[in-house]
Structure 1
Amino acid sequence: MTGPPPRPEPSTSPEGDAEVVAQSLEQPELFARLYDRYASDIHRYAARRLGTGAADDITAETFLIAFRTRARYDTDRPNARPWLYGIAGNLIGKQRRAEVRALRALARTGHDTVAESWTDLADDRVTAQSAHAPLAGALAALPAGDRHVLLLVAWADLTYAEVAEALRIPVGTVRSRLNRARRKVRSALGADPAFTLDATEVAQPWTT
């Protein structure tokens, strides 16, 4: 008579982001799962803001910092996206002068390295290449905090709560910054029929 079949070993493969982070403290190789899940998104977002070359460095450093500080991650937060975008945003913020210079160059000439990466990402919703220049000028004129909130919503597709978590600011501050950015972009773009959409929707032609 044979005994009962052996009980299967419990799975040690974490599913949620918080579980990945927690288990990576004992099994560091598991942290690569977060890279696999989110690296392409972080890279795409950084490329839209600083160009492809800078995005490579931003992405690598984002995950290096995340790995080194993972012991401080709040595992009550199941989704690591805001955490990672917050790290990436801090790194992008250190290059805000480069970002503004690129935006102003695009506004003046309609051509620069960052603009090329945006053009590569454009799809059928782009009505004209000339749409990039005035929008770039409007974005360059925004305060850094307002621009960051606007682009996290428009390009990273974060919710207000996720932006608040990423930037460590109240949701009310996210709303006020976003509303202010929308008003300024809408005002800067004037009455051109091509720019009658909400400011975040105007930015969408650069998304995939």
Structure 2
Amino acid sequence: MTPDLALAAVPLPGGVRRSAVPGADEDGRLLEASVREPERFAVIFDRYFGQVHSYVARRLGRDVADDLAAETFLIAFRQRDRFDRHSGVVRAWLYGIATNLIRRHRRDELRAWRAAAKLPLPEPADAHEDRVAAQVTAQGASGELAAALAKLNAKDREVLLLVALGQLTYDEVAAALGIAYGTVCSRLSRARRMIRAAVQNPSSAESEEDPS
């Protein structure tokens, strides 16, 4: 399966709806404790800063990621007393904050996808893992994939990238974006359909311009 088609095959839910998030309870207890003992927030920072930074970097580039990832954790620290560990997952909460910040740069991201669609695909990195990671960045995507991502509805693209890049479960995506689980499924299904059409048969791919 090519990297482009691998993205188009991001799985839809089967019989099991929820996927357990390892350490979720521990994260919640740590964050709750950090309200009284602020230094304990450092564990959350160390555990998730790299993940959040990588996610933002793949969407907006490393320079922007440095600022947005730092701002994500600053906001999280300031609002840590609002988190309810009994009804939320810390990782999803952090990605939700990051997503809100990324939305400020939506037009820049969209321009990058559109520009990438007109450029030849650069030489892939040696490692397979690097090739897969690069496939959904504006710098590394094929023309067909970049064009398809640019045409996606912004909300559909957001769900697809949280699953494909952030590796969030569907429940986490729902929590991060404040939407229903079924909405996550429908947006992901629509995004997959467009990506698959674009990379398998570019001339007949659907055209749905991003409204942002």
Alpha-carbon distance in 1 for matches of 2:89, 2:180? 18
Could you tell me how far apart the structure 1 residues matched to 2:196 and 2:141 are? 13
Query: What does 1:92-171 align with in structure 2 at a 5 Å threshold?
Result: 92-110=102-120, 123-124=127-128, 126=131, 132-171=142-181
Q: How far does residue 26 in structure 1 lie from its aligned partner after superposition?
A: 1.1
Contact 2:116 2:141 survives alignment (8 Å): no
Aligned residues: 172
CA-to-aligned-CA distance 1:112-144 (integer Å, 9 cap, x gap): xxx89xx66x73264998852221111111111
The root-mean-square deviation of aligned C-alpha atoms, in Å, is 2.5
Write the deviation string for residues 15-35 of structure 1: whole angstroms up to 9, x where unpaired. Answer: 811111111111111111111
Rg: which structure is higher?
1
1:172 to 148, 170, 182: 182
**Which residue of the partner structure matches residue 92 of structure 2?**
82
RCO greater where, 1 or 2, for CA within 8 Å and sep 6 or more?
A: 2
Q: 1:148-177 deviations in whole A, cap 9, x for unaligned?
A: 000111111111111001101000000000
- Residue 199 of structure 2 aligns with which residue? 189
Partners of 1:131 and 1:34 in 2: how far apart? 32
Unaligned runs of 5+ in 1: 1-14, 193-208
TM-score, scaled relative to structure 2: 0.74
Sequence identity (%): 52
Amino acid paired to 1:99: E
Residue 30 (structure 2) pairs with residue 20 (structure 1): yes
SS at 2:118 equivalent: helix
Specify the alignment match of 2:55 in structure 1: 45
Please list every run of 5 or more consecutive structure 2 residues that lacks an aligned counterpart in the other structure: 1-24, 203-212
Residues 158 and 123 (structure 1 numbering): CA distance in 2 closer, same or farther, change over 3 Å?
A: same
- Distance change in 2, residues 1:180/1:28 (3 Å): same
